[in-house]
Amino acid sequence: MKFIKLFILFIFSSLGLFAQMPDDPKESANILHQNGQIYLVVFVLVTIFAGIIFMLVKIEKKLSKLEKQSQ
């Protein structure tokens, strides 16, 4: 559980970092929004993060089960 908390903290703390900022930040968003592709991008990102969180919870449950067996 501690790992999950650290992972979530890391994700939220790194949201303010940007590798490259275009001249007009809204320009790329407007292009994606006009084409309707922004929803696809959001859907893919949400799916990836949901999968990662699901796998982390699954691994955490297995680890806690193994820890209980070893004690």
4 contacts 60 by C-beta, under 8 angstroms: yes
Share of the chain above pLDDT 70, in %: 73
List, for residues 6-37, the tens digit of each pLDDT value: 777 777 666 665 555 556 666 766 777 777 77
- Within-domain flag for 58: yes
- Within-domain flag for 59: yes
Give how many domains the chain has, as a whole number: 1
What value does the mean pLDDT take over residues 37-45?
A: 86
Q: What is the pTM of this model?
A: 0.53
Residue 40 main-chain phi, psi, to 5 deg: -65, -40
**Cβ neighbours of residue 6 under 8 Å, at least 6 residues apart?**
none
Measured N-to-C along each axis, helices 25-35 and 38-70 cross at an angle, to the nearest 10 degrees, of 100
Half-sphere exposure of 62 (CA within 13 A, CB side): 6
Structural domain for 32, as ranges: 27-71
- Within-domain flag for 20: no
One-letter identity of residue 35: N
Higher pLDDT, 22 or 52: 52
Q: What average pLDDT is seen over the chain? A: 80
